[in-house]
Amino acid sequence: MIFDKKTRAKSSIKAIIVVCVIYAVMKILMLPQINVINPFYQTIVMKICIEITLALGLNLITGITGQFSLGHAGFMSVGAYTAAYIMLHWTVNLATIIIAALAGGAVAGIIAFLIGIPTLRLRGDYLAIATLGFGEIIRILIQTTDKSFLGGAAGLSPIPIYSNFELVFIMAAICYVCINNILKSSYGRSMVSVREDEIASESMGVNITNVKLLAFVAGTFFAGMAGAMYSGYVGFIQPKDFGFMKSIEILMIVVLGGLGNIKGTVAATIILNIIGVILQDFAEIRMILYALLLIIIMIMMCGESPWIVKMRTILNIKKFNFKGRGKAGA
């Protein structure tokens, strides 16, 4: 479908109206007189907003552009440490918080740009291994720095608690609207075409490297901003908070919500966090549940038995299209 400027403007206005309505409802539910969302639940809502930003950024890279990245937590850590360092040395106010969040995103984006130039020429498993390696390198570099600078392995503290519901909600809303607009632009169509068939895209004049790099930098920019808000949310960060398993958790959200589906990403983040709260005393069961959910969804997406096909039709779920299979024997 070709989206003109008028269509994109209508889509943006619609998204902004929905965001404003959700914000108004949340604020009403947080009123002391109503107290449906008490301070404990507010912290959970803030965590959901931060993870929505993280997952949407990864969805832009993996789901929309088709680049399998396993180093997203590394870029989150760059934003977290950048913002934390600024907030520890500057006076805490709204302007400083905005500068710290933008700086966290910008530094993560610059590092992603430098990393992306050589690595985004890779494809599939090779790209996944390369991004995983760079994510671990970032974590280890932070871990081995001098304690007086970034805290080393012991972590960085005490970080001022500067994140609040308004800031993280606005950040998640901006991220959603931006990625929604990208999807409906010529850049978004180029990203989707690269995901579907790189050779065909290149033959149609799409600069594959530039498209991949744009998606990678934009996705990591939002990861850096999410990291900046995360450091002001917890008040204490360690390198181990941004390890390989954190990247896997974000990837789980993207896969559960549907690759390339930004609304599904938001829904999956909310659902998984609610499940996490319910099972917060049973961390091992939570990870088992995540694995079971992934297995069930993969079966629903790919299964060919009649009952699975029927269920997929009822739920209006699209089947994964695994290209290239069966061609070797043709």
Give the burial string for 58-95 (b: 16+ CB within 10 Å, else e).
Answer: bbbbbbbbbbbbbbbbbbbbbbbbbbbbbbbeeeeeee
Ordered by start, the domain boundaries in the chain are 5-278, 281-318
The span from the first CA to the last CA of the chain, in angstroms, equals 33
**152 φψ region: left (φ > 0), alpha (ψ -120 to 50), beta (else):** left
Entry pTM: 0.84
Nearest C-alpha neighbor of 121 from the set 201, 198, 191 = 198
**What is the rounded average pLDDT for all residues in the chain?**
82
Give the pLDDT confidence score for residue 330 in this predicted structure: 36
Phi, psi of 82 (to 5 degrees): -65, -50
- Find tokens 């690759």 and name the residue: 259
Phi, psi of 317 (to 5 degrees): -100, 130
Domain 5-278 adopts which CATH fold? ABC transporter involved in vitamin B12 uptake, BtuC (1.10.3470)
Identify the band that residue 53 occupies on the pLDDT scale cut at 50, 70 and 90. Answer: very high
Give the pLDDT confidence score for residue 316 in this predicted structure: 60
Query: Is 30 exposed, middle or buried, given 0-12, 13-18 or 19+ CB atoms closer than 10 A?
Result: middle
Report the alpha-carbon distance of residue 221 to residue 313 in Å, rounded.
Answer: 37
User: Which of the residue ranges 84-98, 223-237, 240-254, 273-287 would you say has the lowest mean pLDDT?
Assistant: 273-287
For residue 158, cis peptide bond before it (omega within 30 degrees of 0):
yes
Which residues, at least 6 apart from 259, have a Cβ–Cβ distance to it below 8 Å? 59, 62, 63, 64
Mean predicted confidence (pLDDT) in 11-28: 85
Q: Express as a percent the part of the chain with pLDDT over 90.
A: 24
Q: Which residue has the higher pLDDT, 85 or 290?
A: 85
- What is the tens place of the pLDDT at every residue in 36-47? 888 888 899 999
Identify the band that residue 311 occupies on the pLDDT scale cut at 50, 70 and 90. Answer: low
Report which residue type is found at 314: I
- Within a 10 A sphere around the Cβ of 22, how many other Cβ atoms? 12
Give the pLDDT confidence score for residue 46 in this predicted structure: 93
Give the pLDDT confidence score for residue 323 in this predicted structure: 44
Cα–Cα distance list, 205 to 112, 121, 193, 209 (Å): 25, 17, 11, 12
On the question of pLDDT at 28 being above 80, the answer is: yes
